[in-house]
Every structure is written in structure tokens, then in C-alpha cells.
Structure 1
Amino acid sequence: MNQTKKELSYFRLKLETYLNDYHPELMTDAAFISARVDAALTAYCDAVEQGFSHLEAEAMSSEVLYQGLHFSKYNNLVSILENEFAEELPDSLPQELAPILLGNKFIQAAFAKYDLTDDFDGSTEYEALYTELTGTIVQLIENNNLPTVGKADTSK
């Protein structure tokens, strides 16, 4: 029982750390986290019972733990903000703006057009999404009359 509790805590910590870094919008989804942690623990125990080494069992449980989480909407938005708006935004702002943008209906509509699988960022559609999100962010800035540091400085 103590071993199971320890492993359960390990998988929870591992998943929560990953979610915090790549999917902060899922950090409050306790049901998702519990279900995923339980599935990873089961995969680990099953693998060990079947004779796999602890390292192999760890790799198998990690596949279960992170399934469907390899593509990150949050990281995608941070990358766009850092790459396309570097002159307009201070260094720390992309990480603060990305969660706000994730809640925007226009940003969500752009993401909804694509099948965001674990290997999406290597697909040909990734560039189309990147371009669409960049354009959507520009429209949000323009439609809401938000100042852009880089543009404001160059117009003086």
C-alpha cells in the first residue's frame, strides 16, 4: 500500500509539473489529473508484473501519462508571442498573455479547425495554424486598440 501511494504521488507530481509547464489550463481539472495518474500507475504495475524492467515500465507509464498532451496550445501561443511580437512585448509577458489568449473565443475557434494530435507540430497544418493564430492576435490588438510598444516607439 505504501509503495502504491508513493508511486501515485510520483505520477501526480510528474503530471502536474508537466501540466504547469505546457497545459496550465488543465491544472484545475482534478478529475482529468486523477484519471490520468491512475491509468499511468496501472500501466506501470502491469508492465512490472509482465516482467518489464522498472525503466521500461516507467517509459510505458509515461506514454499513458502524457498521451494527447504533446502538442500544447499554451506553448504554441507563447512561441508566437515571443517570435512574432518580440519587439512589442517585454520578455515575461508572453507567458502571462498566453493563458488569457487561450480563453479568447477567436483563438479557440482557430485551434478548433485543426486536429491537434501529439505529432501536430510536425505536420504541414502546423504552419497554417501558426499563421492563423498570428493574424488573429494582430486583429485582437487592432480591434481592441491595444498599444504595441514597438509600433508606438517607431511612430514618434
Structure 2
Amino acid sequence: MATQEKEISYYDLRLRELLNTSFPNMATNEAFIKERSDLAAEAYERAFDAGHTVLECRAIANEALFEGLHYSPFDTVYQVVCNEFEREIPADEARDFALKMFPYCVDMFEKYDLHQDFEGTKEYDSLYTELVGHIQIWIEENGLQ
């Protein structure tokens, strides 16, 4: 009895890598992954057919694949955990702790206009400070379990 293996595209793998690393809350959204992977493949094909170079085709496909995924709220939470709580949380436990904190912090991002260059803004600095306080309160109330 033969089993059919699911074909995974190059774009599927690239997107999954980014989602697993920086957008863990989206990493299991198979519909999103399929839609974006298909869009990227189609964008590459259209660009190639239009006479673009391979490098230009890749750039066009990447725009479709990663649209809206340039700023990662999870990466910010992880950065706060690593930078501000390094004495309390060992480096090898920081990602797991950030994953635990992320759902607790996610609402804080809603009042900000998150865009590609958000990290260099005053609003980012405000958010960062809020996250530090929010996580500190959580630790005080719950410990580091």
C-alpha cells in the first residue's frame, strides 16, 4: 500500500521557517501558509514570464510571501526577555519563557501601528518599556515556573 507524501514547496518551507522563528502564533495556520506559498510561486512565474531576471523574480516572490511579516511582536517579547530578564531566566530557557509570555502580552501590541520600521520609533521604545513592566508584574504574581 503506497502512501502519498505531501509536496512541500520552496516557498512553503521558507515561510514555515519564518513563522516558526518569529511568528509562532501563525506557524500552524495551514490555510495561510498554502495561500502565501501559492501567491509567491505565482508571482515568481508571472515575473519570469514578463522577462524579469531570476533575482528580480525572487524579490517579487518574496514580497508576496512575506507581506505584512516584517515586524514580529514575538521577537520583541523574546528580546525583552533576553535583554531585561537575563539574570532571572537562563539563556537556554528564554525562548520557552517568551513563548509562555507572548499570549499574555499580545494585546499590548494592538494600540500600536506595527510596520516594517517600527523598531526604530519612539512608539517602539514605549511598547518595549510597557512589555518590561508587564512581564515583571507577571513574574512577581506567578514566579518563574
Alignment TM-score, normalising by the size of structure 1: 0.83
Q: Is the 8 A contact 1:74 1:102 kept in 2?
A: yes
The separation in 2 between residues aligned to 1:67 and 1:115, in whole angstroms, is: 15
Match of 2:60 in 1: 60
Cα deviations across residues 54-104 of structure 1 (Å, max 9, x unaligned)?
Answer: 111001111111111111111111110110011111111111011211222
Match of 2:110 in 1: 112
Instruction: Say how many residue pairs are matched.
Output: 139
Match of 2:4 in 1: none
Aligned amino acid, residue 122 of structure 2: T
Cα deviations across residues 98-142 of structure 1 (Å, max 9, x unaligned)?
Answer: 1211222xx122111111122211222110110000110011111
Aligned amino acid, residue 48 of structure 1: F
Match of 1:36 in 2: 36
Aligned amino acid, residue 59 of structure 1: A
Structure 2, unaligned stretches of length 5 or more?
A: 1-6
Match of 2:122 in 1: 124
The separation in 2 between residues aligned to 1:77 and 1:32, in whole angstroms, is: 23
Other structure's SS at 1:103 match = helix
Aligned pair in 2 of structure 1 residues 147, 75: CA closer, same or farther (>3 Å)? closer
Aligned amino acid, residue 74 of structure 1: F
| Percent identity between the two aligned chains | 38
Structure 1, unaligned stretches of length 5 or more?
A: 1-5, 149-156
Q: Is 1:137 matched with 2:135?
A: yes
Alignment of 1:17-32 (within 5 A): 17-32=17-32
Give the C-alpha shift of residue 29 in structure 1. Answer: 0.4
Moved over 6 A (4+): none
Give the root-mean-square deviation of aligned CA atoms: 1.7
Give the C-alpha shift of residue 51 in structure 1. Answer: 0.6
Aligned pair in 2 of structure 1 residues 103, 61: CA closer, same or farther (>3 Å)? same
Match of 2:3 in 1: none
The separation in 2 between residues aligned to 1:129 and 1:46, in whole angstroms, is: 40
